[in-house]
Structure 1
Amino acid sequence: MKQKKKIGKMLVLGAAAAATGIAAKKTYDYYKSKKGQKEETPQAENKKAYFIGGGLGSLAGAAYLIRDCSMPGNQITIYEGMHILGGSNDGIGTPEKGFVCRGGRMLNEETYENFWELFRTIPSLENPGRSVTDDILNFDHAHPTNAKARLIDKEGNILDVKSMGFTQKERLALFRLMNTPEEKLDDMTIEEWFADMPHFFTTNFWYMWQTTFAFQKWSSLFEFRRYMRRMILEFSRIDTLEGVTRTPYNQYDSVIRPLELYLRKQGVVFAENCVVKDIEFAQGEGITVKALHLKDYGIERTVELSDRDICIMTNACMTDSATLGDLHTPAPEPVLRPISGELWSKVAVKKQGLGNPYPFFGDVHETNWESFTVTSKGNKLLKMIERYSGNVPGSGALMTFKDSNWLLSIVVAAQPHFTNQPMDQTIFWGYGLYTSEEGNFVKKPMKDCTGEEMFIELLHHLHMEDKKDELLHDVVNVIPCMMPYVDAQFQPRKMADRPNVVPKGSTNFAMVSQFVEIPDDMVFTEEYSVRAARMAVYTLMGIKKKVCPVTPYFNDPKVLLKALKTSYR
């Protein structure tokens, strides 16, 4: 009992207030109540805005310029090096060749404050009079997550993961970390913090937390601490993933397409297949963008900015250099030259305060993992997985095979998962964190495997190998996707390695991505991109309206008490 009191005291140490602040569901009412109040609108008539990169951060930034700054859409240009928008929010494919999800972006109703607020003003594509937020939350409430097969052992047994599995020493170390100031954690890894506690990495908690968020032992202690504090609500339900909010379709169809259509209707200019090769800054101490040097469909040209214009850059992308295979071909070894990280490295040497990309893009052996997407005729396999797991498609979130050499997990979403998916096809995806390891059954490293070989390895872990031939007969395609930098944002770093959204001394330049610094928030989320975009636009445009704050659940005694009790389950 004394130990519990000690940990409880550590949890609330330094808490600024008992109140939780504005929760995400209350944020909607808060901003609705402010709607009638007058706010100064900056003069945007003679301004132009240039976004580098066509991911969620840039699209959200354009929406904020239109909605909150009254900037005409035709004065906003978004440059994207690929032929398609969305960045890491993807979902493409055809019924004939199969579909691809490089990954899944899980949402959270309680902690994605700016995401939900923005998408309440973006019209639904399928339901007139409703918003994208309405679509997602209505769908999620009708399809609640309650994973019944979160961890599975090598014998095929579904494990009871109610207990986190901590020793008392591990509890103390975990809660001590959550109350340690970040300035003491420069360049540290998770493994270093638990160096004398190897058992920690065999607990139910670690297997579930690691595979839910894609952490590794060598990941940044900064980020692990931020996740623990920001997602303290999820600590008590990590075994069921009840806090996961799912979109009706993949994130490209559910999030990017409606936002893109809204922006196109507003007249925003999209320049696809156009790479920004360099940024030219004005001479002197400040940070003022004067020109952008482009390669537009292979033709080099320059765009000059006036003193009134603004430039917002995606300084890096975690799905850079991703490669795709197919049923009979492994994903090719990537050309290790991240386009967005390359531009970041160019500008970082020109001005102080623009961060340092090298800790994030220096070691692909630590930052890669591989996903695979299975497209099948009929629903035979999905029905077998449903009977095995106890979850209908869309209700189970992750299933992790904890003894897999690849640390294999799969996600079976509600069907259909694509808007162009036929009713007689089913789709699911999975991923492995250890791509250089030899499979338990297919004796090859994951990175060298074809889609068929990954499928066979999965069937063995499901103990369905006796059905291999008939299940393979139904397969349209299994598409492996190697992503060399997908975990780059989790790499150990110094606080100064990530630039501020608006760097000190900037007059017209900002950066948005998973590689900028936002105190208290956590990377690898949709919210991070949207929050960064809102911060960038409001600061550069002089908007007085506040960005939705990070909801301080870590300061809520009720939430902390529940987390404490969970640690003893």
Structure 2
Amino acid sequence: MKGKNNFGKVLAWGAAATAAGVAAKKAYDYSKKQMDLKNEENISHMENGQAPGKAYFVGGGLGSMAGAAYLIRDCNMPGDQITIFEGMHILGGSNDGIGTPEKGFVCRGGRMLNEETYENFWELFRTIPSLNNPARSVSEEILSFDHAHPTHAKARLVDKDGTILDVKSMGFTQQERMAMLKLMNTPEEKLDDMTIEEWFADMPHFFTTNFWYMWQTTFAFQKWSSLFEFRRYMRRMILEFSRIETLEGVTRTPLNQYDSVIRPLENYLRKQGVVFAENCTVTDIDFADGDGITAKVLHLKDNGIERQIELQDGDICIMTNACMTDSATLGDLHTPAPEPVLRPISGELWTKVSAKKPGLGNPYPFFGDVHETNWESFTVTSRGNKLLKLIEDYSGNVPGSGALMTFKDSNWLMSIVVAAQPHFINQPMDQTIFWGYGLYTDREGDFIKKPMKDCTGEEMLIELLHHLHMENRKDEILADVVNVIPCMMPYVDAQFQPRKMTDRPKVVPAGSTNFAMISQFVEIPDDMVFTEEYSVRAARIAVYTLMGSNKKICPVTPYVKDPKYLMKAVQTSYR
């Protein structure tokens, strides 16, 4: 793994508290009698048509909003008894998509859904009405759109000469195939703190294969990423392995994820009376003394004013313990994204609470090295469709059908995605938008001789045009540009950092009576982070456990045990 920077210097906000939390790793024995009594009480209330107490969610992302929906739908909690605290002025967390025709549009990232593996996501959104047609569900709307606009990338990898590569072969050696097979069958308990690079240490060729370039850029892995997560992705997404070169398993939303997922869910919750406290940050949480974990007081900074909320018997608190897009900064056509202030608010809260009780995880491995966890995206807004038409002619994919196109020899390891148009609810018909990102922001560009992180939006677009071998059209393309918005995200890969099994807390920690944690930084066996499903599954686990519900959670579909998919995977590895 690359050299670690000093966490005490880079993130002074957390070092002392984290050390105290780590020193207290061993969790108290779960108080079964206490929890059984609570569950019996909760079930009794729910059988009478009323859930007890109030619910407080820390963070206004997809996980918290899904949790609120589960409380209303499955636990009979009135919406007005649920409060969601969000430090920003807008909900959705990392599910974003915003802008204006005059200043351009921006998505910090692009979330890929999957019809076969996002079990709880689809189940939940089958009960959330579409904004466009309330008679249909969000799930129906997304899947209908996707079936009408199937993904089949024809230009998945492009080399420095502008040649679209034939990537049907994964490019493995026999040694690499055996190493992959061994990893798939190695227990996670033996992989503490290991990186992908360490597993393939004597096989440098692995990182030059078509497979690695495609897998890495589809999911944003790095050589120094966690071997845990690489293994989980390979097992969880084994059905994608055989179609990684076309990305046919990618399910796209009609618009960006904020418009297609967050807005209908927010609309549903507001109609149910859920209270959204925006511009309100939870700065600390006090717990009851003694054994066990019982949240007692929430400390708030509400529109600049400090106040407290005391939890009563029957109340629950569900906290987003970290956010991958924390501390993100935006630039524009002529301005690089500013250097982020390295003080992630969500990570700071996690650091504080982890020092107070055992079993609440350890944020250090995830927020300890911004040089390993950052990458940068850019969103291009243009008048007309000239550039998109050039990309379509080059790639053979109409907008919305190609998923990722990666320039494998790019110093930045740049990729772009052209979605179906329009991609925003307020996007004019005479404007077009696409998104891209680079994994290596400290490296100098191949044509713009500056690190990506120091580039303006215009410079990023010019670098892309050179990789497309369209530099001779630069002036006419730039003349149509409304804006190119760079977005630096210092912690966007934090969930992939090498870790120990104990570093991510359980959704409901041992000994908890009313407290849970949800995010991409909690531990859910067999499932994979950096997905919409992980947020929704975590929320469902938190709500059902704290409320004593006996309703079932959709399990992780065991494709890795299905002989059909195993055979396809073996055949693919030998292509």
State whether TM-score is above 0.5.
yes
- The answer to whether the Cα contact below 8 Å between 1:41 and 1:70 also exists between their aligned partners in 2 is no
Q: Out of 499, 502, 505, which is 1:499 matched to?
A: 505
Q: Out of 391, 400, 409, which is 2:415 matched to?
A: 409
Aligned-partner residue type, residue 268 of structure 1: V
Which consecutive residues of structure 1, in runs of 5 or more, have no partner in the other structure?
A: 1-38
The residue that corresponds to 2:133 in the other structure is 127
- Superposed, 1:204-353 pairs within 5 Å as 204-353=210-359
Other structure's SS at 1:497 match: coil
- Whether 1:544 and 2:550 are equivalent positions in the alignment is yes
- Superposed, 1:5-404 pairs within 5 Å as 41=47, 44-404=50-410
Structure 1: distance between partners of 2:424 and 2:216: 27
Q: CA deviation at 1:127?
A: 1.4
The residue that corresponds to 1:36 in the other structure is none
- The answer to whether the Cα contact below 8 Å between 1:42 and 1:543 also exists between their aligned partners in 2 is no
Aligned-partner residue type, residue 543 of structure 2: V
Aligned-partner residue type, residue 456 of structure 2: T
Aligned-partner residue type, residue 119 of structure 2: E
Other structure's SS at 1:175 match: helix
Q: Cα deviation per residue 1:469-522 (whole Å; 9 max; x = unaligned)?
A: 000000000000000000000000000000000000000000000000000000
- Whether 1:463 and 2:438 are equivalent positions in the alignment is no
- The answer to whether the Cα contact below 8 Å between 1:413 and 1:428 also exists between their aligned partners in 2 is yes
Structure 2: distance between partners of 1:277 and 1:162: 50
Q: Out of 500, 520, 523, which is 1:514 matched to?
A: 520
Q: CA deviation at 1:45?
A: 4.5
Structure 2: distance between partners of 1:517 and 1:547: 16
Q: Cα deviation per residue 1:449-485 (whole Å; 9 max; x = unaligned)?
A: 0000000000000000000000000000000000000
Q: CA deviation at 1:436?
A: 0.2
Q: CA deviation at 1:42?
A: 7.4
The residue that corresponds to 1:3 in the other structure is none
Go from structure 1 to structure 2 and tell me whether the alpha carbon gap of 1:42 and 1:411 turns closer, same or farther (over 3 Å shift).
farther
Aligned-partner residue type, residue 490 of structure 1: F
Structure 2: distance between partners of 1:43 and 1:198: 61
Aligned-partner residue type, residue 385 of structure 1: I
Q: CA deviation at 1:296?
A: 0.2
Other structure's SS at 1:307 match: coil
Q: CA RMSD in A?
A: 1.1
Other structure's SS at 2:85 match: strand
Aligned-partner residue type, residue 415 of structure 1: Q
Go from structure 1 to structure 2 and tell me whether the alpha carbon gap of 1:278 and 1:159 turns closer, same or farther (over 3 Å shift).
same
Structure 2: distance between partners of 1:461 and 1:44: 60
Aligned-partner residue type, residue 448 of structure 2: V
Q: CA deviation at 1:41?
A: 4.2
Q: CA deviation at 1:546?
A: 1.1
Other structure's SS at 1:77 match: strand
Structure 1: distance between partners of 2:52 and 2:363: 34
Q: Cα deviation per residue 1:344-400 (whole Å; 9 max; x = unaligned)?
A: 000000000000001000000000000000000000000000000000000000000
The residue that corresponds to 1:34 in the other structure is none
Q: Cα deviation per residue 1:176-230 (whole Å; 9 max; x = unaligned)?
A: 1000000000000000000000000000000000000000000000000000000
State the aligned residue count: 532
Structure 2: distance between partners of 1:205 and 1:45: 50
Other structure's SS at 1:496 match: coil
Structure 2: distance between partners of 1:403 and 1:357: 34
Indicate the percent of aligned positions where both proteins have the same amino acid: 86
Structure 1: distance between partners of 2:452 and 2:555: 41
The residue that corresponds to 1:438 in the other structure is 444
> With structure 1 as the length reference, what TM-score do the two structures score?
0.93
Aligned-partner residue type, residue 361 of structure 2: G
Aligned-partner residue type, residue 556 of structure 2: V
Structure 2: distance between partners of 1:449 and 1:129: 46
- Superposed, 1:546-565 pairs within 5 Å as 546-565=552-571
Aligned-partner residue type, residue 111 of structure 2: R
Q: Cα deviation per residue 1:541-564 (whole Å; 9 max; x = unaligned)?
A: 000011000000000011100100
The residue that corresponds to 1:21 in the other structure is none
The residue that corresponds to 1:33 in the other structure is none
Go from structure 1 to structure 2 and tell me whether the alpha carbon gap of 1:472 and 1:278 turns closer, same or farther (over 3 Å shift).
same
Aligned-partner residue type, residue 507 of structure 2: V
Structure 1: distance between partners of 2:537 and 2:222: 25
Q: Cα deviation per residue 1:427-468 (whole Å; 9 max; x = unaligned)?
A: 000000000000000000000000000000000000000000
Other structure's SS at 1:144 match: coil
> With structure 2 as the length reference, what TM-score do the two structures score?
0.92
- The answer to whether the Cα contact below 8 Å between 2:285 and 2:353 also exists between their aligned partners in 1 is yes
- Whether 1:450 and 2:484 are equivalent positions in the alignment is no
